[in-house]
Chain A
Amino acid sequence: MTITTLAELAADLDQGKRSSVEITKDYLGRIKASHHNAFISVNEDLAIGQAQAADAQRANGNKHTLLGIPVAQKDIFCIEGTQTTCGSKILENFIAPYTATVVQNMQDRGVVSLGKTNMDEFAMGSSNETSHFGSVSNPWGSEETKLVPGGSSGGSASAVSALLAPAATGTDTGGSIRQPAAFCNLTGIKPSYGRCSRYGMIAFASSLDQAGPMTHTAEDAALLLNTMAGFDAKDSTSLDVPAEDFSACLNDSLDGLKIGLPKEFFGDGLDDEMASIIETAVKEFESMGAVIKEVSLPNSHLALPSYYVIAPAEASSNLSRFDGVRYGYRAEEYNDLVDMYTKTRTEAFGDEVKRRIMIGAYALSSGYYDAYYSQAQKLRRLISNDFTDAFGECDVIMGPTTPSPAFEAGSRSGDPVSMYLNDIYTIPANLAGLPAGSIPAGFTKSGLPTGLHLITPYLQEAKMLNIAHKFQQVTDWHMRTAPNAISGGKA
């Protein structure tokens, strides 16, 4: 089976070759036949209903580009009437009574929601192994070598890579779109903080979380982001900027583009093979007229420590609402109120979530606030200032998305800190709120995909997609099908 892009599906629909219902049923069938555990729930009636509505709208002359195209939704987004778990036991029985703005925006443009994809619990993880609903397999692995799909948007990455959905939504707090995209050979974009509304997206770390598309191509990412982004009055951190067509400059020339390579991203800890793949990828840009410059992000080594204070601190507070009172899981037996809270949370949160809640509570506690939280927020400014300086010299920053390709399932789950190191290159963009993405960069000798990481200045998603698209015009890494993608029938 070969990859089908959103652009191709849109053309089929536009030319009347297939209906939305046909396409949607095709993907629902693949999901049913799959064994990747990429989805936590699939609401077939909802998906087919939306597809029927889309077909009716098309018959009435609605010409929206993605009208009738099915997409998988990360199970972090509330969709009214559907189970929304965030990968946690505490929300296993939660049927959302409202719909997230991002999903609503997509639905308003006729995008069909196929189902809810698996994820690390509350988006805390880099391997999808912290999900209450089980781990997810990376279609680039095999029966003998089970590979993680990355996380936290591991279900979304696996679903798209395994051809169970033509595209998916993800969220990225420290790399949760880009790292799984790199592990699964996808294009994953984390837009500027505030581009996509956070309303209805279950919060992990509020000042870092951002939704974005996970697709095969940059062109698809632009199309999907067009339907997701937009100002939302319900989110005080939503950017009030005019709507933008992220596809507008996909084909612009890269002649004279200044690419900055931060020396800090190519130092210790980077796999040699990865380094050479990235080097080769960067050369492609040179042949398109780009200029390579070495830049420096001198405080980038502080990104990981500050992130592991800021994100858990915000999470510890964000997750206090899960108390068994108004929705979600409540312990069966308890002696009193405090016992009810404690048993509910102890029984229904997984270990990684508990660890981060505790780290966060500690970092904010009396006597430690200045040394941890306040210091981390100061370092965050230094890291952000580094980018401002670097972008004085270049138009885009490039490097590897991850230090190494997808690792084997179970190989790091016992060691949280080694797991955290996965996000060492992706976290700085979250701290600074900058747009960043990962695109397929090539394969290791053992056949594993790798990601080229792109960071552009604030609000320059269109530029980043242009750079990504031009690369994909001269390479075909992104169109390679994973060995363990779903087999059979035509897409």
Chain B
Amino acid sequence: MFTWDKRWEVVIGLEVHTQLQTKSKIFSGSSIAYGAEPNTQASAVDIALPGVLPVMNLEAARLAVKFGLAIGAHINKRNVFARKNYFYPDLPKGYQISQMELPIVGLGSLEIETDDGIKTIGITRAHLEEDAGKSLHEDFHGQTGIDLNRAGTPLLEIVSEPDMRSPAEAVAYLRKLHSLVRYIEICDGNMQEGSFRCDANVSVRPRGQEELGTRTELKNINSFRFVERAMEYEIERQIDILEDGGSITQETRLYDSDKHETRSMRSKEEAHDYRYFPDPDLPPMVLEDSFLDEVRATLPELPTAKKERFQSEFGLSLDDAQMLTADRETADFFETITKSTKAESKVVANWMSGELFANLNKSELELSESPISTSQFALLLDRIADKTLSGNTAKKVFSALWEKEGEVDEIIEAKGLKQITDTGAIEAVVDEVIAACSEQVQQFKDGNEKVIGFLVGQVMQKSRGKANPQMANEMLRKKLS
């Protein structure tokens, strides 16, 4: 774990750009599908032909409001688009349409779990804006190629308060946010495709000092792993400078994951004056209460509420409930299985966190890509509940299912794994074991409790794993008492 000199306090605020899950762009009817041939999804509006005008996408507004409601934020029922003016080849109009003074989502908050318990992180605002295009730096005779397919893709920029005090907290916040936006289905969260991007404002100050230190902005750190490492590097860099008596330059820095260092982005050094002003092409957006109510009705159960319900409804521990509600797919999977199996909820939770997740992790698969269907997984747990399988034989069946060797009952049949629950049959094996292990039998009778485990093991071995271990245990104790 990363540590730094505790005389210094770290202050982190995050700006996260989430791409909203719409069909078309924020201000034009172009598709936002990923991976199209360059400039084939760049309409007259997107390439800013003279005379074209923007028209706002209702769905983008709806998704932004959904986010605001999910974090209990104030929704600005009157919100305003503004132009942010600067020249860049991936910005066709020479300005980006964004929101400045009156963003759609105002102050809200998000709870994160830290080592010291629950912490509330303030969310200053979330505003709608359009994405820029892409500059491709492969060599086109020493020139840069511009692809405007991404220009105009709807983004919700979520700006946190500088409330985080360590990279670990920042990552916890990011993970929570990442989970939330997917939970409420406003963003697919795909970091490789840039659907969820993060800039971090990092500063340090002597512990106890109220005034914030000079911050640097780390740009585009696009995986959870890099976010943490980039911030760690940057904190150490800043502390080193300050301890040497130097001062921090307020600047934008880029994290190089290969070299594990941050470097100043020189091209951004030129002092910017974005000359924000309300976009005259777009009158203020005014949202009716009925619209907010309509959006509210589409909100799913939120992670915190779901976690509490999982504890009360299914009798799960906090840890289990947390694990199962970390993302919506996992929670939905758990509820589907629990509803369709006779096994206890706790058993479902154990099998998910145990065999299932371990195998998914090993194979680097998402839950949705699991080779075991929900119905087969539920059936497997049914066979434990009805005592057809023991824990051990169930694992064998699980492995076979994973390898797609067939369905649960076929596998049990084919491998002869059906547990013996017939008292007579078990008694025969128990008698055999008592006769063969006289030494251990004596030890048990002398009061060595632990030996019972060995004896049950012998019964299991002789029955080739099929005896019900609980029945074997009870029968041994009765006979040896």
Contacts and interface: CB of A to CB of B under 8 A. Distances in A.
- A–B contact at 8 Å CB threshold (below): yes
Interface of A: 77-78, 84, 86, 91, 94, 96-98, 100, 198-203, 205-207, 233-237, 313-314, 316-317, 319-323, 325-327, 337-338, 341, 361, 364-366, 369, 373
A265 to B, nearest CB: 27
A199 B280 contact: no
A198 B277 contact: no
B281 A237 contact: yes
By Cβ-Cβ distance, the 10 closest A-B pairs, closest first, are: A320-B94, A206-B280, A364-B275, A207-B280, A321-B48, A200-B51, A202-B50, A202-B51, A366-B273, A321-B93
Nearest to A122: B50
B52 interface: yes
A236 B47 CA distance: 18
B95 A317 contact: yes
Given A206-B280, A314-B280, A317-B277, A235 B49 contact: no
Contacts of B85: 316-317, 320, 364
B283 interface: yes
A234 B53 CA distance: 7
Main secondary structure of the interface of B (DSSP, over half): loop
B50 A236 contact: no
Contacts of B144: 337
Main secondary structure of the interface of A (DSSP, over half): loop
Contact of B280 (A91, A98, A205, A321): A205
Given A86-B50, A316-B275, A321-B93, 8 more contacts: A96-B50, A202-B50, A203-B50, A237-B280, A237-B281, A237-B283, A316-B85, A365-B275
Contact of B94 (A203, A313, A317): A317
B83 interface: yes
Nearest to A200: B51
B61 interface: no
9 contacts: A78-B49, A96-B50, A198-B51, A236-B281, A327-B49, A327-B50, A341-B87, A361-B275, A366-B275
Contact of B53 (A97, A235, A364): A235
A205 B56 CA distance: 20
A236 B283 contact: yes
B436 interface: no
Interface string B51-78: 1111110000000000000000000000
A317 B87 contact: no
A320 B47 contact: no
Nearest to B28: A234
Contacts of B56: 236
Contacts of B49: 78, 96-98, 326-327
A325 B93 CA distance: 11
B100 to A, nearest CB: 11
B53 to A, nearest CB: 5
B55 A233 contact: yes
Contact of A94 (B47, B50, B52): B50
A96 B49 CA distance: 9
A323 B280 CA distance: 21
A5 to B, nearest CB: 30
Nearest to B86: A320
B89 interface: yes
Residue of A91, A317, A327, A366 with most chain B CB atoms under a 10 A cut-off: A317
Contacts of A86: 50
B254 interface: no
B55 to A, nearest CB: 5
A326 B53 contact: no
Contacts of A325: 89, 92, 146
